């Protein structure tokens, strides 16, 4: 650009009917330079050719500043003001002016023209590329971060855990993610269940003691959820069954219009390999193949306490988001030494969180989503500390805290 004099933007009133921010909303953004041919001052012949675009040059307009950018460096920048005047034909024009930039800006469709108005014989044409690039590289606003509300086993505090009814209730409450557990049956069915056997908290029929040694057709016959839960007094008893992951996904995707995410824990213990759980590689292959066939890769987080499972997930299926579950290890450095990669998410018992952990995770760009937080005061403390989400049995309580 030549020595700056002033900058004006003229927009006809037929499209913009009000002053201030609203009238600038459609031009705010990043405008990339495209090829222009100049014959002589006042006699311009333009040739806008996207393939010839020099993407190192741009003009960026945000709520406060107008900037000329080249190779991500600000060459010129200044505040601007918006005013208007009446034309002879009765129409209104908007005038956008700045002291440090030179030229007249005119918007035509998806292109913007910076033209010389002081016989400098110079015209630059730009095309809009991304309205989200309104801020310059030195003035970018922080991206909106969505706090991840995760319903633990659906909403265990309100309805039976890992049940279709509980998952639908959690969706209705407003969770972003359904946290759930899986185990495998003898016939390689992926069952949504916290344990590979029945527990008395869920049913009075304890006849099946090992799902991995039992076909799913037999497991499904056992009713669960109809007994009063001894630890969750608010949980409404409901007669249901252990569903398959395939069934849960179909119903919950339909119920949420495919907006819901899934945080799936692969339940596994080294001492249970080949007895209660598949060998890690067989386990990981079975689950990831299913998720890829259902096109769920982008909406799923896979989590586990078993570091062998985690390492395999990362090495064989790096396209999946992985969360590292930690229960008792207060020494996070020691915890990270047990895995051979950097997970996207660190998910500890919330009692293990301190400022040193938060600082480490921030430095390494790892999200922090603790479990299982059921107390309103603890939720508030964690939100204030800056966690990225919370896993809770009471998503209704968490949502209320976030509103407050």
What average pLDDT score do residues 131-160 get? 69
- Strand (E) or helix (H) holding 314: helix 307-316
Report pLDDT for 27.
Answer: 55
Higher pLDDT, 118 or 400: 400
The answer for residues whose C-beta is within 8 angstroms of residue 99's C-beta and 6 or more apart is: 4, 6, 78
- The residue whose two tokens read 């930039």 is 101
- Strand (E) or helix (H) holding 127: strand 123-130
* Residue 295, φ and ψ in degrees, nearest 5: 55, 45
Q: Which of 182, 166, 151 is nearest to 238 (CA)?
A: 166
What average pLDDT score do residues 315-344 get? 96
Report pLDDT for 47.
Answer: 36
Q: Which CATH number fits domain 148-403: 3.40.50.300, 3.20.20.190, 1.10.10.10, 3.40.718.10?
A: 3.20.20.190
**Strand ranges inside 153-238, DSSP E:** 177-184, 190-192
Report pLDDT for 57.
Answer: 60
Higher pLDDT, 400 or 87: 400
**Strand ranges inside 186-344, DSSP E:** 190-192, 261-266, 300-304, 321-326
List the Cα angle 390/392/393 in 5-degree steps. Answer: 170
Sheet of 54-61, strand order:
73-79, 65-70, 54-61, 29-34, 123-130, 111-115, 103-108, 7-12, 92-97, 81-86
Cα(256)–Cα(260) distance, integer angstroms: 6
What three-state secondary structure class fits 238?
coil
Report pLDDT for 55.
Answer: 47
CB-hemisphere CA count at 13 Å for 179? 26
Higher pLDDT, 139 or 60: 60
Cα(317)–Cα(137) distance, integer angstroms: 34
Q: Counting beta carbons within 10 angstroms of the beta carbon of residue 223, is it exposed (0 to 12), middle (13 to 18) or buried (19 or more)?
A: middle
Q: What is the pLDDT of residues 178-220, one digit of tens each?
A: 999 999 999 999 999 999 999 999 999 999 999 999 999 999 9
What average pLDDT score do residues 120-133 get? 44
Q: Which of 246, 143, 148, 139 is nearest to 192 (CA)?
A: 246
- The residue whose two tokens read 């995770």 is 361
What average pLDDT score do residues 357-366 get? 95
The answer for residues whose C-beta is within 8 angstroms of residue 335's C-beta and 6 or more apart is: 324, 326, 329
* Residue 130, φ and ψ in degrees, nearest 5: -160, 115
What average pLDDT score do residues 254-262 get? 93
Average pLDDT taken over every residue of the chain: 79
Per-domain residue ranges for the chain? 7-133, 148-403
Report pLDDT for 279.
Answer: 98
């Amino acid at each position: 650009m030549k020595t700056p004099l002033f900058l004006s933007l003229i927009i006809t009133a037929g499209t913009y009917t009000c002053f201030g921010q609203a009238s600038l909303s459609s031009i705010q953004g990043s405008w990339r330079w495209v090829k222009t041919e100049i014959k002589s001052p006042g006699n311009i012949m333009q040739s806008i050719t996207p393939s010839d675009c020099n993407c190192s040059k741009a003009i960026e307009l945000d709520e406060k500043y107008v900037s000329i950018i080249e190779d991500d460096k600000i060459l010129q920048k200044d505040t601007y003001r918006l005013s208007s005047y009446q034309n002879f034909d009765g129409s209104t024009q908007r005038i956008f002016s700045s002291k440090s930039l030179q030229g007249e800006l005119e918007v035509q469709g998806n292109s913007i023209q910076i033209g010389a108005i002081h016989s400098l014989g110079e015209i630059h044409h730009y095309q809009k590329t991304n309205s989200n690039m309104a801020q310059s590289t030195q003035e970018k606003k922080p991206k909106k971060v969505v706090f991840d509300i995760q319903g633990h086993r659906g909403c265990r505090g309100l309805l039976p855990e890992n049940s279709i009814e509980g998952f639908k209730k959690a969706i209705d409450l407003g969770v972003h993610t359904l946290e759930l557990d899986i185990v495998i049956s003898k016939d390689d069915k992926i069952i949504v269940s916290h344990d590979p056997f029945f527990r008395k908290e869920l049913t009075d029929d304890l006849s099946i003691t090992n799902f991995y040694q039992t076909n799913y057709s037999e497991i499904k016959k056992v009713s669960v959820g109809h007994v009063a839960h001894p630890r969750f007094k608010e949980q409404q008893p409901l007669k249901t069954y252990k569903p398959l992951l395939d069934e849960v996904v179909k119903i919950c995707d339909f119920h949420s219009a495919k907006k819901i995410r899934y945080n799936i824990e692969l339940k596994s213990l080294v001492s249970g390999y080949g007895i209660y759980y598949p060998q890690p590689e067989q386990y990981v292959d079975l689950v990831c193949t299913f998720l890829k066939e259902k096109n769920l890769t982008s909406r799923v987080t896979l989590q586990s306490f078993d570091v062998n499972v985690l390492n395999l997930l990362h090495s064989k299926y790096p396209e999946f988001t992985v969360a590292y579950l930690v229960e008792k290890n207060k020494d996070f450095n020691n915890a990270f030494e047990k895995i051979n990669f950097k997970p996207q998410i660190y998910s500890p018992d919330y009692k293990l969180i301190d400022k040193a952990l938060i600082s480490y995770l921030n430095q390494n760009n790892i999200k922090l989503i603790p479990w299982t937080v059921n107390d309103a005061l603890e939720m508030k403390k964690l939100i204030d500390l800056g966690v990225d989400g919370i896993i809770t049995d009471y998503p209704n309580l968490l949502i209320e805290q976030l509103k407050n």
